[in-house]
Chain A
Amino acid sequence: AQKVTQAQTEISVVEKEDVTLDCVYETRDTTYYLFWYKQPPSGELVFLIRRNSFDEQNEISGRYSWNFQKSTSSFNFTITASQVVDSAVYFCALSDVTQGGSEKLVFGKGTKLTVNP
């Protein structure tokens, strides 16, 4: 069975600190996708990144970066120089791409990040 573990339930930092959100996944599939979503206090889900299992290149987008390591089944997310607007719940998710065209996400329980001024 597929599983996503976000061991950090809540993290609190002071503005401008760097913070890393951990994500560990379990799957027997060789082809899969990993995602990060942000859920700000307003409640909507904001897509941040998708990574497929064949691409282990790290990705950087502005202050955000992602470290994908298949050897440890991890897909960690780092925010550099955090800002108050980064305060949100962050979800890591794994996609089960099965035959027939289905695409189902398995979500972690989320990490609530609070950035204090």
Chain B
Amino acid sequence: NAGVTQTPKFQVLKTGQSMTLQCAQDMNHEYMSWYRQDPGMGLRLIHYSVGAGITDQGEVPNGYNVSRSTTEDFPLRLLSAAPSQTSVYFCASSAGPGTGELFFGEGSRLTVL
């Protein structure tokens, strides 16, 4: 049972570099989302998608891009990394509103120097 898979688990970037955090789920869930977790801040929603081809911004979208070309995948792109993007990133999926819990990936720890 893979569930939600995130890669990489750890990444160190230099300021200005770009990278993509990958997220894949095998539960045929329509809803996927990205959160970031910072010390003392809880988790904050970056972007979300309610289905293939549909994405929208969450609470803290600046500096991040997303796309949803398939139901399974929801990559998060940092076009020009900044130290403020140092965080732990979680991808999540669910079958939709009212269907139950969000299933979270194991997290990706990103450090921007």
Contacts and interface: CB of A to CB of B under 8 A. Distances in A.
Contacts of B102: 35, 47, 103, 105
Given A47-B102, A109-B42, A110-B42, A103 B96 contact: yes
Contact of A102 (B56, B59, B88): B56
A102 B42 contact: no
Interface string B64-92: 00000000000000000000000010100
Contacts, number: 65
A102 B40 contact: no
A101 B31 contact: yes
A19 B100 CA distance: 26
A44 interface: yes
Contacts of A47: 101-103
Interface residues of A, number: 27
B20 to A, nearest CB: 21
Nearest to A33: B98
Interface string B18-55: 00000000000011010100001111110010110000
Contacts of A52: 98
A43 B107 contact: yes
7 contacts: A45-B107, A47-B103, A91-B42, A101-B51, A103-B31, A107-B43, A109-B42
